[in-house]
Structure 1
Amino acid sequence: MGNNACGSSPEIIDGIFLVGQAGGIIPDITLDRVVSNYLSLNSSFALNHHYGTIQERLSKDQLTALDSNLTSIFSKRTKVSYGGVGVVALAMSLLLDTLVDGVLGQMDGELMDRYQRIFGPDNTSEISSITREYLRLVPSMVNNSDMMAEITDVYDQKLKHALIKLYESMTIEHRMSTAALKQWINGAAIHLHIRIHGIRLLSVPRGSAESLRLSYRTGLGRLVQLYASYIRRNVKERGPTQDPPFKAGFLITEPNRKVRHRVSHSACQTQGIISAIVSRILAVQNIRATEMFFEEADFMYFMYHKTELDCTPLLDTNITTGS
């Protein structure tokens, strides 16, 4: 009977976890959906779909303004080399978002929010800044292969060193955090595809992407183990007091991440609740999806596949891709 009284019910765990979600303290180290969509075999489809959504969203006059901006960048009926694949597709999607923001009169903060979704709240980090600089440069040099190769190599090296620095900070200096791991995962994913783009441009050896992929896959495994230990150490919970003076309970997921709650439970249930919350936090990170991103499948395709993006006026045609 005592054991049953100290068992935590799913309703209690759900209630506390939902309070944590509402309070924005549930950690997120996931590979961003935008990154995974554009750095995948479905990149051309994702870009076409995004383009179609924009067409549905804007009025005819707004589409005309957007078309004018596009043609001023790429010239009418210009094909964008590799426009439908990898980092170029990602850069093109962000360019479209920037131009749409301009047409709608929105501020740069809207685009910053997109980078925040990729890199987390600390989107002014070195990794985020390097990535943002590179992706903003891509549209202006897509049809100049020599310039693209040179700039891609420069940012490949910048991002490589920033990622090594962050990795060592988490593993050697024991400065693990959700923010740091979120930046590393998404930065590593983008860096790998910057390297792959360098192979397409014949500026780096073919085998360098595979060695980088293996390095990141191995590094990810170690970081996930360290992160799981970090979460187990930091999650704390206490229920509200049952007697005067009444005090709300609290949930802590990591330093400076705390919410109060009023989900009532006995003190002997606390440890079971903490264990369940830890398991729930780790489960929602979808670690397997991130691992699969760095698996071997489809990487040879990315190295040699070529697509072009048709930037003819939006009112006349959609994005087209082809080998």
Structure 2
Amino acid sequence: MLIGGSWGLSSASLKEHSGTRFLGSHAMLTMGNRNSKKEKEKEHIVSMMFNLAKQSGMIPDIGIDESLVKFSGLNSAAQLKSYSSDLLRDLEGKAPDYVTNLGSALTTFKHVPNAVGLGALVISVMLDLIIRSLAEEQHSDSTLNMVRRVFGEEKASGIRDSMDEYIKRLSMHVNDPLKALEETECLEKQLSDQLTRLRNSMLHEDQMSTRSMKHWTNGAAFHLQMLVHSARLKMAVNNSSCEMDLQGHVTSVSTVTDFYQKHLHELLEKYTSYKRSTISIIMIVVSRLLLPCSRLATIYLVWDRETELYAETSLSGSRRCQEVPSDVYFDYMLS
């Protein structure tokens, strides 16, 4: 009678106790399944709301422009060749009489020195200008529109003005490495100063916004490419192939890159906190009295007070009345 004697439990009470424990475990399991089901429903709602927000253009865009990315890699020369070939094919289909003129321009650009990196980007801008003058049309995704895509209709932006001015100046001196170097060194310092001011205003002066973040990320990427192009021009002007000179330039650019990575991390932390304060999930339960059917319905709204945009969806039946905290949606958006 170890059990009965030690614990005061009979065989009957043991069975009853064991049954109770089993039922309790079963209840906990059932509750766990219900919670799991609720979580899955919540995830489904969040996923659906995210897709609706994406379709409505509500997802924040602070990325680097595709043209800048395209001509910043090690294969920028190949990208320029591909870009010019696409322009030629497009023009041939729409304005065949002008193909000869564009072909002559392409031949001229083949002899441009340092036609890689920003050099390649500038040549693509010049080609876009020629296309616009010949075919009297302009594609929104052209390199020529890069600055406008990044800055939109911003009325006053020193970063935009410096980038715009540099593209124009480098286009003017595309065949003169010495003059191109002078312009690069002058405008590089100017852009660097403007980026520092913008970063400090976001971090320390409560001026954080999606627009400012996009300006900074694109400006910083552009500035790094200016430094790379400056090093390339210096090597060309000095007719240097010295490994020590090259390593000095590489170290200089790497140092600035490390600074920008640190700054980007700080800015992203601040930006994430900022967006958490602007994005809200609003749930509205619609009464049966307002519906032709007898079931309740729930309307979910994703609202961003920064952009004043919203997306909505409605659910009824088993998926209704599932509360979705704003943080859950925000975490899903960042994942």
Same fold (TM over 0.5): yes
Matched, 1:159 2:191: yes
Q: May I ask how many residue pairs the two structures share in their alignment?
A: 276
Structure 2 CA distance, aligned partners of 1:77 and 1:95? Answer: 10
Rg bigger for which structure?
A: 2
Structure 1 CA distance, aligned partners of 2:168 and 2:180? Answer: 12
Q: Secondary structure at the match of 1:241?
A: strand
Q: Pick from 25, 28, 40: which aligns with 2:58? A: 25
Matched, 1:14 2:66: no
Structure 2 CA distance, aligned partners of 1:77 and 1:230? Answer: 46
Are the counterparts in 2 of residues 120 and 179 from structure 1 also a CA contact under 8 Å? no
Are the counterparts in 1 of residues 42 and 324 from structure 2 also a CA contact under 8 Å? no
Instruction: Return the TM-score normalized by structure 2.
Output: 0.72
Q: What letter matches 1:36 in structure 2?
A: V
1:150 CA drift (Å): 1.1
1:123 CA drift (Å): 8.4
> In the alignment, which residue of structure 1 is the partner of 2:329?
277
Structure 1: tracts of 5 or more residues without a match? 284-323
Q: Pick from 262, 265, 268: which aligns with 1:221? A: 265
Q: What letter matches 1:278 in structure 2?
A: F
Structure 2 CA distance, aligned partners of 1:248 and 1:263? Answer: 4
Structure 2 CA distance, aligned partners of 1:58 and 1:21? Answer: 33
Q: Pick from 183, 189, 196: which aligns with 2:215? A: 183
C-alpha RMSD of matched pairs (Å): 2.9
Q: What letter matches 1:167 in structure 2?
A: R
Where relative contact order (Cα < 8 A, 6+ residues apart) is larger, the structure is 1
Structure 1 CA distance, aligned partners of 2:109 and 2:262? Answer: 44
Q: Pick from 81, 98, 107: which aligns with 1:62? A: 98
The 5-angstrom pairing of residues 193-272 of structure 1 reads 193-202=225-234, 206=249, 207-243=251-287, 249-264=300-315, 266-271=320-325
Label 1:32 to 1:48 Cα distance change in 2 as closer, same or farther (>3 A): same
Percentage of matched positions with identical amino acids: 24
Q: Secondary structure at the match of 1:261?
A: strand
Are the counterparts in 1 of residues 65 and 146 from structure 2 also a CA contact under 8 Å? no
Are the counterparts in 2 of residues 16 and 263 from structure 1 also a CA contact under 8 Å? no
Q: What letter matches 1:185 in structure 2?
A: T
Q: Pick from 65, 82, 86: which aligns with 1:49? A: 82
Structure 2: tracts of 5 or more residues without a match? 1-30, 238-244, 292-297
Q: Secondary structure at the match of 2:314?
A: coil
- Tell which deviates more after alignment, 172-181 or 197-206: 197-206
Label 1:147 to 1:182 Cα distance change in 2 as closer, same or farther (>3 A): same
Structure 1 CA distance, aligned partners of 2:308 and 2:79? Answer: 35
Are the counterparts in 1 of residues 49 and 302 from structure 2 also a CA contact under 8 Å? yes
1:166 CA drift (Å): 0.7
Q: What letter matches 2:314 in structure 1?
A: V
> In the alignment, which residue of structure 1 is the partner of 2:117?
86
User: Going by fraction, where is helix more abundant, 1 or 2?
Assistant: 2
1:160-183 C-alpha deviation (Å, 9 max, x unpaired): 111011100111112211111111
